[in-house]
Structure 1
């Protein structure tokens, strides 16, 4: 068997890659704020957040930088994401958020159902014209690998690992479906980021009522304006101390809680309660919510959400550099399954959204709370408005709980379709 030698990316030093990402973010933000007619027209059609995500993806696909070889995604998801969640939530108005109602939860479960049904349905469709794509026996049976995608798309990495253990896919098969998982999910993320810039038009088309979302945005923006001030060095240090101090405590507590539960209550693994990342997100978000009832909430006036936005955009860029567009050609059959699968998920979301007149914001966040989890649900929510980021993470936490059950059911259905 011929061994494939991977080419080394042009830039391998993470300090250099981080510098490139910041240059990309700065250029996007400067041009999107420009009054030049060309840029104003350009950003009318292309949301700035999409470029922050897609340009690093292109650089990764061209092997200029490498998301696989870099630790920037790990750093941004484990350190900057919790810090941003803390800073976003400390300025939150829970009473205003509650006015969003149950449509967000309904859309989340519509997305979950779309994934559960979409997996076996995609297998049925592809088997009619490419049965060899879904072959294999024992640990190499393709349905076993696809079941791990179900875990990833209803919850996240912890649920995916659980499905890998439950259904026992081989290492080679898991590597192949992992590429499908990342590429398809990230392409859909790109579509949602693009759609965030056209939310009003989409809502008008579906005759959706987005008044509750506009109300929440207005309330939070008015509060921020009422306490706005020129931040001092002390203010900035306080903001960073809260963000990274609590992030540090979240890691400390997670390092104690997750191993303890895994050792003493292994059954809780099915709820993702033995996942360290789960506890980091939950503790950080909870701490931020508690601070929203204290004087710390006034740090919003000194720019706490601005720091949170910076952290989140670094995460967006690092997520983008995980995607290699060229891998689609390596196994087109599996990517076809993934493509049909995500289309079923989208169809369920749009049908339910039409029936209950849910705004596109709930469609996007409900989808990413499933497919992307805590790493990208707040990213999508903040693309609509930074003040709405906590809605994404709260739904993503719900995904951790239902992920294993939903993914297991999806895996069993795919096993039945495969006739195993």
Structure 2
């Protein structure tokens, strides 16, 4: 296995280069291929093969940490430089409705999945010990609604044993990543799906057109000075965000530990909040003109590297180790997805709202903007805003889900 991060980074860069080169090819084969397979999905799936076939050691690699802590906040800053707050507000309440629907789907999906699977395999209801399946499922609920901080909170609240926790982490990562892959495929066919469902996409189209108009208006051939200023803004604000997170998270831990349920003691939470807030603030400053030099394009490159590193954490062969738990996770995710699709159809919401509402729950701030950007880079901030709501709701909703799981598991 390759353990050198420099080599792994080179492999990921080569994969991304291959995908984008072929995606822009005029050859008939590639044109037909990318008509059905979104380029973003390949940027995520091909790196996963490196892990699946044990070519690289992703578990001990620091690349995901670097991408999520350095490139992600910088990309959020650069993508929000052209944010159109008025346009986002004009998107209406459907995005919020579907986000809350996604949360509800996870809360009720866990107990339903456990009920269904216990009929097939009664051993899943293995009492109330630390390694009880229902206890492990509470950590997945925390992860799928809020994120890592909420997952850790559920582990402590429900006294989850190490063995079942390790198994559920694998279920969490693989099922969530498989669902993300499905969303990326759907994003690539969004126009067809929306046309078939009769969804009103006018607000999204208006927002996208306004951003594109602004980009064309200020577009110019970037100079070295432009690119240096883009780097200065992106990584400079990322530095400020890290400094703020390094101060705020320990302060809340020491002075208001009860606010951990809101993720106030999580450094990653504050990192995303500060980077996004300052990025939006910069959109009202002269820095907004940097969008004309390609700020959002550089931010998008960072997002693609993040996608590639996320992909390296999915090992499909892990499915064979605990097939009953992965089937449990699939049923759980099917309830979440089914409820979202039903409500989206009833209110005739665009696919974008369904996809981002789901990913804001399941993936959080690390991947919600990825799915949103798959529709258009200007829509990434919508994913961030909803993901932040997931942090706030995560502990409460996951705790309630845990109580339902306790009832089913003890039965």
**What's the TM-score, normalizing by structure 2?**
0.99
Q: Indicate which of 11, 14, 30 corresponds to 2:21.
A: 30
Match of 1:220 in 2: 211
User: Counterpart of 2:164?
Assistant: 173
Q: 1:113-132 counterparts in 2 under 5 A?
A: 113-132=104-123
Q: 2:329 aligns with which of 330, 333, 338?
A: 338
- In the TM superposition, residue 237 of structure 1 has moved relative to its aligned partner by 0.4
The answer to whether the 8 Å contact 2:105/2:335 transfers is yes
Is 1:205 matched up with 2:196?
yes
Instruction: Give the one of 85, 90, 93 matched to 2:76.
Output: 85
For each residue in 1:230-253, what CA deviation from the matched residue of structure 2 results, as whole angstroms up to 9, or x when unmatched? 111111000001100110111111
The count of aligned residue pairs is 411
- 1:282 matched to 2:273? The reply is yes
Taking the aligned partners of 2:310 and 2:225, their CA distance within structure 1 comes to 32
Alignment of 1:403 with 2:394, yes or no, is: yes
1:206-241 CA distances to partner (integer Å, 9 max, x unpaired)? Answer: 211111111111110111011001111111000001
Q: How far, CA to CA, are the matches of 1:243 and 1:308 in structure 2?
A: 8
CA distance in 1, matches of 2:382, 2:3: 36
Q: Quick one: distance in 1 between partners of 2:50 and 2:374?
A: 22
Map 1:6-405 to 2 at 5 A: 9=1, 11-405=2-396
Given that 2:125 and 2:410 are in contact with CA atoms closer than 8 Å, whether structure 1 keeps it comes out as: no
Cα distance in 2 for partners of 1:381, 1:155 equals 18
Contact (CA 8 Å) 1:67, 1:323: kept in 2 or not?
no
Instruction: For structure 1, list consecutive stretches of 5 or more residues without a partner in the other structure.
Output: 1-8
SS at match of 2:195: helix
Q: Secondary structure at the match of 1:139?
A: coil
Contact 1:152 1:371 in 2 (8 A): yes
TM-score, normalising length from structure 1? 0.97
Larger deviation: 93-102 or 308-317?
A: 93-102
> Per-residue displacement from partner, 1:32-68 (whole Å, max 9, x unpaired)?
0111111111000100000000000111100011321
Does the 8 Å CA contact 1:66/1:322 hold for their aligned counterparts? Answer: no
In the aligned structure 1, how far is the partner of 2:67 from the partner of 2:208?
26
How far apart are the structure 2 equivalents of 1:215 and 1:58?
Answer: 38
* Aligned counterparts of 1:191 and 1:65: Cα–Cα separation in 2: 25
